[in-house]
A = this chain, B = another copy of it.
């Protein structure tokens, strides 16, 4: 083949490969997955920053405890080295009764006096905590909007974060929609699942689905069964989202609620007490090799 023809074919191949990539990223699900991962990371950073900030601020003002990170950060900014201002406190925490209490405590605090340099450092860090919180809200807004658009049925059945996390774990909507219910049920529980397969520990009952209030708030003994019916309905919803694009979630939700009610009504037979088994790490490929999971 002449050189010219070679070059031409190469160019055409490259072009088609590029087109293929463009095509593959056309669906918005990829952006949604990235946003979910960013949200999870940001949320972790936010919690860590809150821990750091409350410990740090504890040396200046140990009497105060705030459970909301952003409120704490706003209080840190209001109560810096410049002195105590009751108006600023009230503005920061937006609760006049609590603000007065804090104002009183601040006047007789046993904490360390803040100097200028320290104040600048801690106020900067508090500002960072506020940015983290704001960023989290922004990402959540996008995830909600995109998940509702891409997976209306699944989002209706669960909520936007759970739907989006399932998608991110699966890697694409197509893959998620063609998974069996048992796999969907255990998405996010990979570690526990492999521990079960390798060492014979108890199998997991749910992964991401544990965040559903219906499961979190249920009795321990029936949680697994509720996760199972949820997973089956989610699978139907996913197929509707990906293939037919009909909105059938209302009916699914009704069926689901009925199934859960039935599970809850059934009397719970208490499990026999089994002695907890110790399982050791096997040395795979060294002495015995892998012989499949230990059955009990």
Contacts and interface: CB of A to CB of B under 8 A. Distances in A.
Interface string A14-57: 00001101100110101100110110011001001100110110
Contacts of A122: 31, 34-35
A71 interface: no
B110 A22 contact: yes
A37 B25 contact: no
Contact of A52 (B21, B34, B48): B34
Given A25-B59, A49-B41, A138 B110 contact: no
Contact of A121 (B45, B115, B128, B138): B138
A45 B142 CA distance: 21
A112 interface: yes
A42 B49 contact: yes
Contacts of A45: 45, 48-49
Q: Is the interface of A mostly helix, strand, loop or mixed?
A: helix
Interface in A192-233: none
Contacts of A114: 31
A54 to B, nearest CB: 11
B146 A112 contact: no
Residue of A22, A25, A55 ringed by the most chain B CB atoms within 10 A: A25
A127 B142 CA distance: 16
A128 B125 contact: no
Given A38-B52, A52-B37, A59-B25, A30 B112 contact: yes
A31 B118 contact: yes
A171 interface: no
B28 A56 contact: no
A56 B34 contact: yes
B59 A30 contact: yes
Contacts of A37: 52, 55-56
Given A34-B55, A38-B52, A142 B128 contact: no
A124 interface: yes
Contacts of A42: 49, 125, 128
A112 B48 contact: no
A180 interface: no
Given A31-B118, A34-B55, A121-B138, 4 more contacts: A41-B49, A42-B125, A124-B138, A127-B131
20 contacts: A25-B111, A31-B56, A31-B112, A34-B55, A34-B56, A34-B122, A35-B122, A37-B55, A38-B49, A38-B52, A38-B56, A41-B48, A41-B52, A42-B128, A121-B138, A124-B134, A124-B139, A125-B139, A128-B131, A128-B132
Q: Which 5 A-B pairs have the closest CB atoms?
A: A121-B142, A34-B56, A45-B45, A25-B112, A128-B135
